Structure 1
Amino acid sequence: MGVRRIIALTLGWEDLPKSASVHGASRAERVREPVPGLLLETDDGWLLLDTGFNTALLRDPALRRRFYPSPNYQPELPGPGEPLEEALAAVGVDLADVTAVALSHLHVDHAGGLKHFAGRVPVHIQKTELAYGLSNHPEPEHHSMARIDYDDPRIDWRQADGDVEIAPGVTALLTAGHTPGHQSFVVDLDPAVGGGGYVFACDAADLTENITEERPIGAFIGVTADQTVPPIRRLKEIAARRGYPVIPGHDPVAWPTLTTELATRFRL
């Protein structure tokens, strides 16, 4: 049994230097990258992968200055309301329909929507990621983790220590490098909907060229740039064995293309 529907969500955008995604790229070259989310219909209910921004940190001027201090990085929200609520409503799903959440990692563009789920549903994460994010040290915030997003005693953390199946047809893969406990996801589609599947790299590979050319990613913690390539190769090997594509996490061409492909396949 596998996933019956996949819905790609765009929860905002980020205007930033390409060097943030590809090591060695020119800082003068800029890209406008989508902020992704994925909604998966499983036998356990709707599973949400990543949650976008915390709107309060963007809309309050003082909080924005603190958590987004660099003029080189400009986050954008897609509308006037809460991005998750608006994106889910557009595909006929209510926040209350989400039965579990999984985070690729704790960066502000992935963990900011956890406020909608604290005290409500389990949240899957790698043990090493949560330990790093909650360490009593300023370093996580310097690496774009806002503790206010995820330091909530009501969150029902489900901590993994390596690869683990988190729902029928959904496997989290430890792909550390971008952050200490970053995880990517393999999604197997149910034969009843045609089978097949996808490997979602998340921020283990932001752009298509990180995958096709095996170029190191631009942002990493605790490793060298070259050490971010083996996780990419591992994802490619898994995808090749299964016959699945590898989907980059923030590609401005690949993500809207996938969004349309999935909408067509699942008649959204």
Structure 2
Amino acid sequence: MPVRRIIALTLGWEDLPKSASVFGASRTERVREPVPGLLLETADGWLLLDTGFNTALLRDPALRRRFYPSPNYQPELPPGPGEPLEAALDAVGVALADITAVALSHLHVDHAGGLKHFAGRVPVHVQRAELDYGMSNHPEPERYSMARVDYDDPRIDWRLAEGDTEIAPGVTALLTAGHTPGHQSFVVDLAGGGGYVFACDAADLTENITGERAIGSFRGVTPEQTVTQIRRLKDIGASRGYPVVPGHDPLAWPALTTELADRFRP
């Protein structure tokens, strides 16, 4: 059964050089990119794709210095003292307790930081290659924006994929390794027809997709190999008539948020 409803969440922002998103772009040009989350209403309940930052690592000065040492990358939480994920869910009428499963595109700090809300509660879908990398060779993954404290929790009920797999009715995870060793994107089929291909960090910006420009941050591959993943996502989108949505575009994400809110207005 296809997905009944999609809600886009903005869980923070990150100010960074454009070269982090587009290979070869200027290191002096900066972009303020949204930190995304997606709520999918499936036949099995609410599935959350990505969880935003771990607020403790940003609000505690010592932890912020440890996990965000570079002035070149500046993460930003939404206003307010509470938990951004919980506040974003409350704003759309969904409680944390309503989430029945979580899927992570990858383990970077801006995607896996909210796992603390779900440890011991719901299944968490990730590629086996991603978890293997994140749990190995310490401290290398931390140097590559993975905070092991976010995901090294024995209470997490991992559901590990090894390649493309359906993780919920109407939701297929696609292995799109490159940005990280086990990065995954998602194809979402909607009830009534249509759907979306969510590239996540396989393509941060619209120009990564339209211009087939390599992403700026990758691991274990060449820049050209990241373009291969972009082309694959475009081919899947074209074959189904689905748009390919970039993961962090500061114009496309707000537009999609409005589009989905209008499309699925109660």
TM-score between both structures, scaled by the size of structure 1: 0.98
**d(CA) in 2 for partners of 1:136 and 1:96?**
34
Which whole-Å CA distance do the structure 1 matches of 2:161 and 2:49 have between them? Answer: 15
Letter aligned with residue 53 of structure 1: F
Return the alpha-carbon distance in structure 2 between the equivalents of residues 175 and 141 of structure 1.
Answer: 21
Give 1:97 deviation, angstroms: 0.1
**Is 1:73 aligned to 2:73, yes or no?**
yes
Hey, what does 1:104 align to over in structure 2? 105
Match in the other structure for 2:236: 238
Counterpart position of 1:48: 48
Asked if 1:222 is matched to 2:223, the reply is no
Deviation digits for residues 169-194 of structure 1 (CA, Å, limit 9, x no counterpart)? 00000000000000000000012xxx
What are structure 2's unaligned runs of at least 5 residues?
none
Query: Corresponding residue for 2:20?
Result: 20
What is the TM-score when the length of structure 2 is the normalising length? 0.99
SS at match of 1:222: coil
Return the alpha-carbon distance in structure 2 between the equivalents of residues 224 and 164 of structure 1. 25
1:60 equivalenced with 2:60 (yes/no): yes
Residue 137 of structure 1 and its aligned partner are, at CA, apart by 2.3
**Structure 1: segments with no counterpart, 5+ residues:** none
Cα distance in 1 for partners of 2:236, 2:222 equals: 23
Alpha-carbon distance in 1 for matches of 2:10, 2:45: 21
Identical pairs, percent: 85
Match of 1:150 in 2: 151
Whichever residue aligns with residue 135 of structure 1, its letter is S
The CA RMSD measured in Å over matched residues stands at 0.6
Q: 2: CA distance between counterparts of 1:137 and 1:233?
A: 33
SS at match of 1:51: coil
CA distance in 2, matches of 1:138, 1:117: 25
Post-superposition offset of 1:136: 3.5
What displacement does 1:110 show? 0.0
Match of 1:127 in 2: 128
AA partner of residue 204 (structure 2): D
Partner of 1:91: 92
Tell me, in whole angstroms, the C-alpha distance in 1 between the residues paired with 2:118 and 2:154: 12
Give the secondary structure class of the aligned counterpart of 1:28: coil
Cα distance in 1 between the residues matched to 2:31 and 2:215: 14
Measured against aligned partners, the alpha-carbon deviations of 1:25-76 in whole angstroms (never above 9, x if no partner) come to: 0011000000000000000000000000000000000000010000010000
Q: For residue 79 of structure 1, report the CA deviation from its aligned partner.
A: 2.2
Read off the aligned partner of 2:7 and give its amino acid letter: I
CA distance in 2, matches of 1:232, 1:240: 12
